Amino acid sequence: MGGRTFGIVLTREVCEIDPVERYLDQWRRHMRAWKAEDHLGYPSRSPAFRSGGSRGEDTFEDMCAEVDNMAGYAMEAIVDDLEPMERAALSSFYLGTQFPGRDLHPLLDRAKQKIRRKLPSRGLV
């Protein structure tokens, strides 16, 4: 296959979160990375893991940040493949973009269904 796969540390808390919601939250953080208030402190956990070298050249925080970044880019590619109004629905609900007078709930549900089918193809489990 040749692609990267992002693993998950299976805690009870992680197992109870829908993968689509987990990765949409990661996408939200990825898309808002330029805002200073989102970087006041490093998150206490990552939705994925990666092992480092035996010499310890990477710190745990560096590995978490790299995995989060890769997952954010993978989700960005999935979202970019959606129809414009589906992207608008995601933007409205996860990024706070305003679309007055539009009911985007049906489009949000459809976008999430498409994302669920595309997660494995981007290595997100």
Contact 121, 115 (CB under 8 A): no
Predicted confidence at residue 89, as pLDDT, reads: 94
pTM over 0.85: no
Instruction: Give the per-residue pLDDT at 1.
Output: 43
pLDDT in tens, 50-72: 555 555 566 777 777 788 888 88
Q: What is the pLDDT of residues 23-47, one digit of tens each?
A: 999 899 888 885 545 445 555 455 5
